[in-house]
Structure 1
Amino acid sequence: MSADTPHVLVVDDEADLRELLVITLGRMKLKATAAESLGAAKSKLESERYDLCLTDMNLGDGTGLELLQHISLHCPEMPTAVITAYGNMETATEAMKLGAYDFISKPVALDRLRQLIEDGLGISNSEEPHEEEDNLIGNGPAMQDLKSQVRKLARSQAPIYISGESGSGKERIARMIHALGPRREKPFVAVNCGAIPSELMESEFFGHRKGAFTGAVEDRKGLFREADGGTLFLDEVADLPLHMQVKLLRAIQEKSVRPVGEAREFQVNLRILCATHKDLASEMTVGRFRQDLFYRLNVIEAHVPPLRERKEDIPALVDHILLRLSNAWETSPPKISGPALKALCNYPFPGNVRELENTLERAMTLCDGMVIETENLHLHATSLATGTVNSDADNSTLPERDAAQPLEEFLQDIEREEILKALDATHWNRTAAAKKLGMTFRSLRYRLKKLELDRDDGSE
């Protein structure tokens, strides 16, 4: 074998299993070294560099967990997977919390073992910087900590629970974890669990056979099989009904799914990431979320800080968002005045980055010229929508938001109403309406398209 051949350390106190692992690695054209105990493994790690480690949990003179702790201190860049007793999820979960990227249960299935090894070597080859790391805007302490955590989590195959308020960027974090990891060439499939009708959930997640039920006019693979080899991101996982939580837990543990109306199961190899703005621990306490599923999904938690806890990042976010919007509108990015930027930095942003994006998009639409002023931000309207009223502003003409209505929809309703008023007043002359609203014709045309108000009647 060449000097570039990946080198794998196999640690197990059972001679038969050690031999099986070494033979399998040899057939994969990999170099393998075996160690029969914890002490022997530590000795070999001191004298040789390895690209991957496979360890059993029982090592005679110690445990696989002790070896993981040693590896995390002395060679943290080396991916490690553990071999556990069948059904011992507690040990597997503890191993992943200590840094194992994945686990395999006895009796060892050779196809699953090969996939485990390929995943681990993929981690070894994904250490170079990736452009996806630049997508997290901000260099404050909170974001530096989060970026560092994301890089570490990308190396693991452990399920990740991403917590954070609505609009804070949980899906972006999930996409970064996927893009920085060994599965980045495979699919990333995101699903909002709260948006799927309860009666269709099993079919959406696991697929169905043609004719399995009324309306099943063709075979469907389902989300799990669509994400096979890659990552499945379950957003708003707390909204899953209890009966679906049971099925989801089984699919995760067995790494297989059975489509509705199908007699056989299909193996799947994917990573599960989940998120919710709710407190999963509280949902579990009151009985709305299963305890066993909670512990299976919440192996490692990544918390996305709200925007109000990283206000030092707001200027950089403003520049990034304005540049992105101007590129979409095919215009030059506007400037933002000092007082307007100060107002943004002092605002609590209950809707987080999503609210900041909506605020700036509205300000670009309403500003006169190429400078966004404080009055263009309409922060008093946003404050009213979230229950924080600016006493210096006249809010008497603003509608009240239904508590169940999302903030983004409420703000779009206000914008839609103002644009329709201007269009009605100008008999749908869009050039005149744009002037009345204090925006460019191009900006109005963009807003009409986004709000689905555009109509091809030839008027200008």
Structure 2
Amino acid sequence: MMTDKTPRVLVVDDEADLRELLVITLGRMKLDATAADSLGAARRLLDSDRFDLCLTDMNLGDGTGLDLLRHAAQTAPEMPVAVITAYGNMDVATEAMKLGAYDFIAKPVALDRLRQLIEDGLGISRAEKTGDGGEEEDTLVGQGPAMQRLKQQIRKLARSQAPIYISGESGSGKERVARLIHALGPRREKPFVAVNCGAIPSELMESEFFGHRKGSFTGAVEDRKGLFREADGGTLFLDEVADLPLHMQVKLLRAIQEKTVRPVGESKEFAVNLRILCATHRDLGEEMSAGRFRQDLYYRLNVIEAHVPPLRERHEDIPVLVEHILERLGEAWETRPPAVSERAMSALAGYRFPGNVRELENTLERALTLCDGEMIEPEHLHLPSDDGPQPAAGNGGGRHPQLPLEDYLQEIEKQEILRALDTTHWNRTAAAKKLGMTFRSLRYRLKKLELDQDGAPDSE
């Protein structure tokens, strides 16, 4: 029995048989279906009525599904739209997703896939009505023009089920953007699984992604589900996707297209329903042109691109980022962080931050460790100058030309802490007081810097 709260679905298709199949399927799902046999009829219904979801064919006789998407964007921007397309029409399907379609399904229509498509769309519709996600959105700090544009794009992308390519430099916050897209979308209650593709040995990639059966190879002492099945129903974030070897790119493409995976040593396939987000600090287009990244996988993953701006392009956000990071560090260290002087803030605002937000976090964490008063000054930041980095006090030289910036700055921090410990004969309470931090904070720093109980680096 239909009620006023029963979700309403608009079905648009000029083929009577498929239109009837869709209406019957929706009825069995206890949904209120209304059918239109042309673009004109669908437009009139959208102009006069309200729907929670729209399923449209691409070929509508008097127009296309793309025309309907453009009309829906004007008259019913909150309504999720999915497109039904013919085989071999992937370019059109991609264009549909760029125009706002949340997903597409290929003919002939498999009923289980159709049901999942409908459930995904209704999930988006419910998310739009509840308006959840404002708190999650606050995790992306910054109110400058570049961040406002990114946040607006994220809100739009969260509604879609399209694969998203998140581009940006190292340390700019690509994983944070991926998590926000997941948190604002209909899959927010399901898992978010992140993996760094460059950190997995090539010979273990297939097992890590798709799982394995116990005994399928040496070391397989138990069954493993794999990342795809762990993320089932949710989102799989592939960081540094450009690091995937070519043989794994082929397997990944098949899993995405078929929506199934076969664990190593398993004879059957398992269906998976997940959203793919990917990122890399490299130019994926250049990687494809150079033959290091498959063209078909590139176009499958890069349906829509979200670019995360580097910190040097949003210096106006540095003060609020500094406040946010220091507040978070203070909570983690159970201490009240010092304020930042005008001179120190000016130094931060004038630095280009090649390591982006991650480098800013490391800089403030180090400054918090080295500051022995109530105010962080420029000398606590150890920012490299235009003439090159300043040497650490007492080390007799400057930065090693082959040492990465973050490693160099961490070495400065380590030397300052070791100096305080040596001065106090490794009395940690006294050393913490000398460094202007709590004992808990010092213990945290020693653990992070991998210093053992005797003050020497851990053996490997």
AA of the residue aligned to 2:29: M
* Equivalent runs, 1:335-346 vs 2, <5 Å: 335-346=339-350
Aligned-partner Cα distance in 2 for 1:392–1:444: 23
Cross-structure match for 2:256: 252
In structure 1, distance between residues paired with 2:439 and 2:392: 28
Q: d(CA) in 1 for partners of 2:391 and 2:362? A: 22
| Alignment partner of 2:173 out of 162, 169, 178 | 169
Q: Deviations over 1:327-378 (max 9, x none)?
A: 1111112111111111111111111111111000100110012211111111
1:176-255 matches, cutoff 5 A: 176-255=180-259
Query: Quick one: distance in 2 between partners of 1:248 and 1:401?
Result: 39
Partners of 2:318 and 2:348 within 8 A in 1: yes
Q: 2:357 aligns to what SS in structure 1? A: helix
* Residue aligning to 1:398: 398
| Distance of 1:361 and 1:419 partners within structure 2 | 13
Q: Secondary structure at the match of 1:135?
A: coil
Partners of 1:187 and 1:227 within 8 A in 2: yes
Aligned to 1:447: 445
- Alignment-derived partner of residue 417 in structure 1: 415
Following the alignment from structure 1 to structure 2, what is the Cα–Cα distance between the partners of residues 248 and 269? 14
**By how many angstroms is 1:299 displaced?**
0.4
* Conserved? CA contact 1:38–1:60, under 8 Å: yes
Aligned partner of residue 127 in structure 2, secondary structure: coil
CA distance, structure 1, for counterparts of residue 246 and residue 406 of structure 2: 29
| Matched residue, 1:78 | 79
Q: Is the 8 A contact 1:22 1:32 kept in 2?
A: yes
Amino acid at match of 1:451: L
**Equivalent position of 2:458 in the other structure:** none
What SS does structure 2 have at the residue aligned with 1:244? helix
Structure 1 residues 199 and 390, CA gap change in structure 2 (3 angstroms): closer
After superposition, where does 1:233-312 map in structure 2 within 5 Å? 233-312=237-316
* Residue 389 of structure 1 pairs with residue 388 of structure 2: yes
Aligned to 1:46: 47
Contact 2:52–2:80 (8 Å) recurs in 1? yes
**Aligned-partner SS, 1:274:** strand
TM-score using structure 1 length:
0.94
Q: Distance in 1 between matches of 2:193 and 2:392?
A: 44
Measure how far apart 1:438 and its partner are.
5.1
Partner amino acid, structure 2, of 1:412: Q
Give the aligned partner of residue 367 of structure 2.
Answer: 363
**Which moved further from structure 2: 368-377 or 351-360?**
368-377
* Residue equivalent to 1:28: 29
SS in structure 1 opposite 2:416? helix
Deviation larger for 149-158 or 37-46: 37-46
Farther off after superposition, 302-311 or 72-81: 72-81
CA contact (8 A) 1:401 1:410 kept: no
Amino acid at match of 1:347: Y
Q: Which moved more, 1:421-430 or 1:100-109?
A: 421-430
SS in 2 for 1:125: helix
Q: Which amino acid aligns with 2:409?
A: L
Measure, in 2, the Cα distance between the counterparts of 1:414 and 1:391.
Answer: 10
Give, in angstroms, the shift of residue 435 of structure 1.
Answer: 4.7
**2:19 is aligned with 1:18:** yes
Contact kept in structure 1, 2:392 and 2:412, CA below 8 Å: no
Partner of 1:107: 108
Please report how far the alpha carbon of residue 442 of structure 1 lies from its aligned counterpart in structure 2 after TM superposition: 3.8
Deviation at 1:93, TM superposition (A): 1.2
Check whether the contact 2:391–2:397 (CA below 8 A) recurs between aligned residues. Answer: no
- C-alpha distance after superposition, 1:158-193 (max 9, x if no partner): 000000011100000000000000000000000000
- Of all paired residues, the percent bearing the same amino acid is 79
CA distance in 2, matches of 1:298, 1:20: 32
**Matched residue pairs, number?**
450
Contact 2:262 2:268 in 1 (8 A): yes
1:353 matches 2:352: no
Equivalent-residue separation in structure 2 for 1:375 and 1:228 (angstroms): 49
CA contact (8 A) 1:343 1:374 kept: yes
Residue 95 of structure 1 corresponds to 96
Displacement of 1:398: 3.5
Which aligned runs of 4 or more in structure 1 are off by greater than 4 angstroms? 390-396, 435-440
Task: After TM superposition, give the deviation of residue 106 of structure 1 in Å.
Answer: 1.2
Tell whether 2:127 aligns with 1:123: no
Over the aligned positions, Cα root-mean-square deviation in angstroms equals 2.0
Q: Is the 8 A contact 1:445 1:454 kept in 2?
A: no
Query: Could you say what secondary structure the match of 1:161 adopts?
Result: strand
The alpha-carbon deviation at position 98 of structure 1 amounts to 1.3
Within 2, Cα distance between the matches of 1:186 and 1:441? 39
Alpha-carbon offset, residue 99 of structure 1: 0.9
Deviation of 1:410 (Å): 3.6
Q: Distance in 2 between matches of 1:391 and 1:191?
A: 36
1:138 matched to 2:138? The reply is: no
Query: In the alignment, is the contact (CA less than 8 A) between 1:242 and 1:289 conserved in 2?
Result: yes
Q: 5+ unaligned residues in a row in structure 1: which ranges?
A: none
Q: What is the Cα deviation at residue 390 of structure 1?
A: 5.4
The residue type paired with residue 397 of structure 2 is T
TM-score, normalised by the number of residues in structure 2: 0.94
Q: Counterpart of 1:334?
A: 338
Q: d(CA) in 1 for partners of 2:46 and 2:286?
A: 43
Deviations 1:200-247 (A, max 9, x none): 001100111111111111111100000000000000001111111111
Aligned-pair distance for 1:52?
0.4
Rounded to whole Å, the distance in 1 between the matches of 2:428 and 2:337 is: 22
User: Map of 1:146-161 to 2, 5 A cutoff?
Assistant: 146-161=150-165
